Amino acid sequence: MKFLDQCKTYIKSGAGGVGCLSFRREKCVEFGGPDGGNGGRGGHIIIEAIEGLNTLIDYRYKQHFKAPRGMHGMGQNRSGAKGDDIIMQVPIGTQIFDENNDILLADLTKAGQTVLMLEGGKGGRGNTSFKTSVNQAPRQTTQGGPAEEMWIWMQLKLMADTGLVGLPNAGKSTFLSAASRAKPKIADYPFTTLKPQLGVVYVDNKEFVIADIPGLIEGAHEGLGLGDRFLGHIERCATILHVIDATGDDVVEAYKTIRHELSEYGQGLTEKKEIIAINKIDALDDDLIKMLTEELRSTTSSPIMPISGFTGAGVKEMLRALLMNVSKVRSTETRQSNLRDLDVDESREDNVAAETWSPV
């Protein structure tokens, strides 16, 4: 399946049906009176996040979504049927932006989460609803509510716990295949990975998700190589695994290059917990591995662990370290979320108390 993480879509809700102007006329019925029904409501445009999707490819070939309008009211007090709602299903982690792609309208981060993007027009009133004691034969009706329309941008940011970053051919895909059941393409040329890959890791009877993105090069924030457009997929990660090729020319310079690109991208990526993996140690001796580790320790205070994605050496220990970081960050996020919810509930109680209190 082709990977697509950004698309522009046109959406339009349904207009409301027109109210009916009608009077009851039947044989042997002396006083008929008005019997015009109301129009039906137009269809809504709803966006829902569901499990099992990891791409927006469904919206690549169909870019216009128009909900049907409500049916008009009819005689005999028959109301028009409402228009069917259109429910657009998207992957978890999809963000909705306005037409200019600069204002965030919705962020769907949980399965089953929905957002009403456009509301269908209200149905018009038939003449029956205008009947009063002084106006028993009204000829007044109303039109249905107008439809709403807009262009939106949808951007997907994959929901993962750990993000893999590094230069091309650092061995990120090899590590992902060794740590999970994911089967990314692995080859000995740059930019083998052309799209983000997800893998589910099981360690110590627990699981978390790792996201592998295409490699970065110097100047990626300016569009060089594949650029930094895929960095958005690790914005939601709890921790970052920085993979460095131990057989490269300069491990310190490789580390600084990636950190510079993360800093230029922003969005708090440089503030996330980080673990550094010196990969491909199967090609080095112990003394050289120790020397490379000491060189990196003089540059960063982040934990440094030697591994080999090819032989599996150190992979289990690395996964346990990543799981520990993920657990700490997620528990902190949950605690902060609970505190925010508590503050909201307390403010609601205060408002209710202020509304119900009255001076004696």
Alpha-carbon gap, residue 147 to 350, rounded angstroms: 39
Tokens 């205070």, located at residue: 301
DSSP 34: B
| Structure-token pair, residue 54 | 């990891």
**Whose CA is closest to 211, among 239, 191, 192, 185?**
239
State residue 198's pLDDT score: 84
pLDDT band, residue 153 (cuts 50/70/90): very high
Buried b (16+ CB within 10 A) or exposed e, 301-312: eeebbbbbbbee
Mean pLDDT for the chain overall: 86
Q: Distance between CA 319 and CA 275 in Å, rounded?
A: 11
Q: Do domains 1-125+143-156 and 162-331 have the same CATH topology?
A: no
Secondary structure (3-state) at 296: helix
CB 148 within 8 A of CB 118: yes
pLDDT of residue 358: 44
CB-count burial class (<10 Å; 0-12, 13-18, 19+) for 14:
buried
Fold for the domain defined by 1-125+143-156? Spo0b-associated Gtp-binding Protein; Chain: A, (2.70.210)
- Closest by CA to 43, choosing from 74, 72, 5, 16, is 16
Which residues 6+ apart lie within 8 Å of 73 measured at CB? Answer: 17, 18, 19, 20, 36, 37, 38, 39, 40, 79, 80, 123, 124, 126, 141
| Residue 344, pLDDT score | 59
Tens digit of pLDDT for each residue in 7-56?
Answer: 999 999 999 999 999 998 888 777 788 999 999 999 999 999 998 888 88
For the chain, give the longest Cα–Cα distance: 108
The tokens describing 100, both together, are 């200019």
What residues contact 58, with CB distance under 8 A and at least 6 apart?
89
Higher pLDDT, 266 or 349: 266
Residue found under tokens 């700490």: 328
Residue range 192-245, pLDDT digits in tens? 777 788 888 888 888 888 888 888 888 777 777 776 778 888 888 889 999 998
* Domain ranges within the chain, ordered by starting residue: 1-125+143-156, 162-331
CATH number for the 162-331 domain, one of 3.90.1180.10, 3.30.420.40, 3.40.50.300, 3.40.50.1260?
3.40.50.300
Q: How far apart are CA 237 and CA 208, in angstroms?
A: 11
